[in-house]
Structure formats: structure tokens, C-alpha cells
Structure 1
Amino acid sequence: MKTILITGATDGLGKAVALDLAKDGHRLLLHGRNPKRGEALLKQIEKETGNTRLKYYNADFAELSQIKQLAKEVLEQEQELDVLINNAGLGIEASRRSSEDGNEMLWQVNYLGTYILTKLLRPLLKKSAPSRIVQVASAGQAALNFDDINQEKNWSGYQGYCQSKLAQIMLTIELADEYAKDGISMNALHPASLMPTKIVQSPIDTIPDGVKSVVKLAVNEKLANASGKYFFKRTQDKADATAYDEQARRQLMELSLKMTGV
């Protein structure tokens, strides 16, 4: 059985993935940003699955300091981490919001949170190797506007969402070879199309469809050697061309370091 950290686990896809993995007896580290909902989640999973190997971690990704604190607590309190599922995220927003750090909210929550945890939890993932990182991205992808990454000049909820999701895929491809040396595989996926979660108005696929996709990348032994790949649901696919642009990926890494200090 594996120790698995799932961010954004108190509702939607993250919660459904947690329930599915709990049924198989995995030890789950579940992240959310509301302690009461976190406590309710643990009780629900225990009641429905009988799994008591659960722990809740609280952090609001609207603050970079809280994301870093989450990583610090996991490193201090956990002896192993076999799988990191970076699932926490926001959907297309109706209006621009700024984080506590002054960043556009979609960029911070969807991408910078993923970047920080991928970087800071590396030592524990290395210690637990072979281990995996699963980036829950999207088929909605747009080239990054490096000149206005926070969209202060011209905001678009669609651009904000799609560039943050493409950045997750770019991060995956850029770091895959480096992390593979530590026994860590890393893949990104579009789990399902417009699942009926709180951020989707007109569903196409179901949440169980998305669960199958995420769980496959997280624990399926046939994918143990896959790394640096993008999957559309459960099939390897091609991401936006920008993901394969080495210069764009290097620019993203420099920007990420500048914005997070990590």
C-alpha cells in the first residue's frame, strides 16, 4: 500500500479520488483549505471505506507562505511519500482576483502551488522511490503571456485558466528527466472533460471518468516507467506545442523561481 498526498481533496475530483484510493487501503494525506470540511472528509472516508489511515493538512493556496508551510509540515511529519497528486485548482473565473501575494489567482493556485510542492517535496519523494507525481492539468491549454503573466493589462478568465494548466504540463516535461534520476516519475493529464463539479456548469463526462484517469497514473504498475508525458484521460497524447518548446520551459522555470523563491 502507498502513502499518497492529494491536494484539493475536500470536494469534486479530489474527494472522489480520495474515496477510491481509500477503498484499496492506501494511506492518504488529504489537503484542503477549510479545517471543518477536512474533518468531515476524514469522517466520511472512514465511514464509507473503513480506512483509518488518513491525515488532513490545511493550507490556503491563495498565500504562497501557506503552500510552503504545507510542504514543510509534510516533510517534518511524514516518513514516506509514494505519490503526490497535485489536484488543487480553480476553474475559469468570472472576474480577476489577486492572491495575498499580488499574483493573479488562477496562476497562483493552479500553477505556482503545483510548482512549489513539486519542488519542495522532492526529498521525501526521493527517499520513497520509486515514487510518482501526478499533475492534474487540462485539455484547455493556452500559450503563456510572459509579458503579462498576471494579466494586469488584459485579463481573461479563459486565458488565465488555460495558461496555468499548460504551465503544469511544461513543468512536468521540463523536470521529468531530472527527477527520474531520483526514482521519481512525473506525468500530467486531462482527467475528463467538464466533470460535474462546482466549477463546471455544463458537464460532459462524469467524475468517475476522471477518477479512473487519475488513479491509473497514480498507482497502475504498467505506467511505472512512464515519465514526462501528457495523457488525455487514460491515453498518452500531445499537449499544446508550447509544452515542447525548450526556451519557453526555461523561461517558465526562471519566472517560477522569481515569483516563489523556490
Structure 2
Amino acid sequence: MDTRPVKAQAPETRPGRESACGRTVLVTGATQGMGRHLALDLARRGATLLLHGRDRGRLDEVAAEVGAAGSGAAVRTYLADLADLDRVRALAARVREREPRLDALVNNAVVGGGTAPLRREVSRQGHELRFAVNYLAPCLLNRELWPLLAASAPARVVNVVSIGQAPVDFDDVMVERDYEGLEAYCRSELALIMATFDLAARTTDSGVTVNALHPAHLMDTRGVREYGLTLAVPVEEGVRPAVRLITDPALAGVTGRYFDRFTDTAAHEQAYDPRARARLGALTRELLA
């Protein structure tokens, strides 16, 4: 399936004050950066927020802040380290057990280039850390939460990615040679875009849309600061495109797209290579078995 953008596929509208009342939204990586600001915005629109984080103290602080910002909607928290796939599975199981519905899943948690980019790090299962957190964890959450999303349809999945994309090297997927954190990050981001296209293609009649979003360039986030990049825009600039993908009625039914902020555009060319996507899909199924 060729998912390159076509004209009139999705109008380039800016988000207004669309209500999120009655919608339950899970945001991963909600304790800082864009995740926190997105949760605050959605709370003001009346959404029920399911907030994920890996630090209990920070998660409780953000939950209190989001609860105070909202209009009486509920806020519930879910603690998990996404660098451990067993804990990702446990997180999904808790959500399925406790939540009657899930209208949107925002896979926002990310590991950036890092403060020591030449130091290769691994996950609990021994996978390269950025590939594990930025790619495998959202793929697993999408899979494990799909029954709840489908039962809540119409529902939406937003995979937060980056304009910084590098092709996956299938001879060195875990970046064991010539390691550099930002390169590993860019590979993981393109991998998630490829998985977005494939999941959308397999689920066209499900009532659940699946899109990838680069929310803004060089936002004022911890990851950007830690790597030493020059900040370009405040975090709020990234919140608006994310809210649009979650709430805008004009995007109902739009799926399998890559958005650069408000624009439906083309990702890296490898994202449209069916052989590369098939290889990545097979590897992912093996790693998540």
C-alpha cells in the first residue's frame, strides 16, 4: 500500500476549541515536555486522561496539575518503564482491565539522542534502548490495546515521531557498529512511521485511525536540551497539531498518514519500500512474540 500523501486527503486546518468531553485519552510520557502540555490542553477540553510515566512522584504531580486544569473530568495514572517489554504488556493489561473505553492512544514517550550519545544503552530485554522505547514499546501498546480501541470506535492512534528520520539498517538493526545516539533515535522514528503505515493498511475497516505526527521542530523539551540542540519553538507549538489529530472531526477516517505539524506530507523514502516494511514487520513480530 503506497501511503504517500495525495491532495484533498486531509484538510490543513488548525485546531479550534473542539471538545474532548466523553473521550478517554491515554498519553504516554506524560510527566514532562509535550506529553504534559498535551494532557493539560485535553483536560481543559473535558477529556478523561490516562497518564503514563515511569516516576511515581512526577506522575502524581502531573496528575494533580492536570486534574486542577480540567473541568471535572477524571485523571488516572499508569506507572511503567517502557524500556521493559514485560512492563509494557502489564501496562496494557491494566488499562484493558480498568478502563471501559479508550478513544485515543497517543504514543508520545521517547528517548532522544542523550547526553552521552556515543554510549550505547540497552533495554531490559537487551535491545538497543531507542529502538526499544521509541519503536517496540508503541508497537506493543498498539497491539495489546487494539481490542479496547476497536470496541470504542471511532477511535484514534497518534504515534508521535520526528522529522529527523534515518533508514533502518537491517544488517545492524540494534546499531551495534559505530553507535551514535541521534542516529539511533532517527532510525527508531522512521521505524515507527513504517509501522504506522502497515497497521493502518491492515485495519482500514476497524473504525480506528492510525497516524504519525511530527509535532514541531526542536521544541523546548528535555531531550532537545540534553543533546545540546538549539531550541526553536515552545512546547505549545507541538501540542496544537497533536490535539488536531485527536479531536478534529475533519480528520475522521483519515488514516495511515505522516503529518509534519498540520501538513499531510511524505516521510523518508524507506517508509514506502514494501520490502523494507515487510522485513521490519517480521522482525517486530519476532521480537514481540
Q: Shorter-chain-normalised TM-score: which range?
A: over 0.9
- Residue 79 of structure 1 aligns with which residue? 100
- Residue 224 of structure 1 aligns with which residue? 252
1:206 aligns with 2:234: yes
Q: How many residues align?
A: 261
Q: Which one scores higher on RCO, CA 8 angstroms, separation ≥ 6? A: 2
- The percent of aligned pairs where both chains have the same amino acid is 40
Question: What is the distance in 1 between the residues matched to 2:181 and 2:223?
Answer: 13
1:135 to 149, 159, 164: 159
1:120 to 122, 125, 144: 144
Q: Given that residues 43 and 69 in structure 2 are in contact (C-alpha distance below 8 angstroms), is that contact kept between their aligned partners in structure 1?
A: no
Q: Given that residues 84 and 123 in structure 2 are in contact (C-alpha distance below 8 angstroms), is that contact kept between their aligned partners in structure 1?
A: yes
1:23 aligns with 2:44: yes
- Residue 154 of structure 1 aligns with which residue? 178
Q: Given that residues 207 and 253 in structure 2 are in contact (C-alpha distance below 8 angstroms), is that contact kept between their aligned partners in structure 1?
A: no
Question: What is the distance in 1 between the residues matched to 2:71 and 2:256?
Answer: 35
Residue 151 of structure 1: how far off its partner (Å)? 1.1
- Pairwise CA RMSD: 1.0
State the AA in 2 paired with 1:211. Answer: V
SS at the partner of 2:224?
A: coil
Residue 103 of structure 1: how far off its partner (Å)? 0.7
- Residue 130 of structure 2 aligns with which residue? 106
Question: What is the distance in 2 between the residues matched to 1:73 and 1:45?
Answer: 21
Question: What is the distance in 2 between the residues matched to 1:155 and 1:103?
Answer: 13
Question: What is the distance in 2 between the residues matched to 1:40 and 1:158?
Answer: 30
Residue 50 of structure 1: how far off its partner (Å)? 4.4
TM-score, normalised with respect to structure 1: 0.97
Relative to total residues, which structure has the larger helix share, 1 or 2? 1
SS at the partner of 2:203?
A: helix
- The gaps in structure 2 that reach 5 residues or longer are 1-20
1:53 to 74, 82, 85: 74
Q: Given that residues 23 and 51 in structure 1 are in contact (C-alpha distance below 8 angstroms), is that contact kept between their aligned partners in structure 2?
A: no
The Cα offsets for residues 226-250 of structure 1, whole Å up to 9 and x where unpaired, read as 1000000111110000111111111
TM-score, normalised with respect to structure 2: 0.88
Residue 219 of structure 1: how far off its partner (Å)? 1.1
The Cα offsets for residues 178-202 of structure 1, whole Å up to 9 and x where unpaired, read as 2222111000011000101111132
Question: What is the distance in 2 between the residues matched to 1:255 and 1:71?
Answer: 21
Question: What is the distance in 2 between the residues matched to 1:52 and 1:226?
Answer: 27
1:68 aligns with 2:123: no
Question: What is the distance in 2 between the residues matched to 1:154 and 1:215?
Answer: 38
1:177 aligns with 2:201: yes
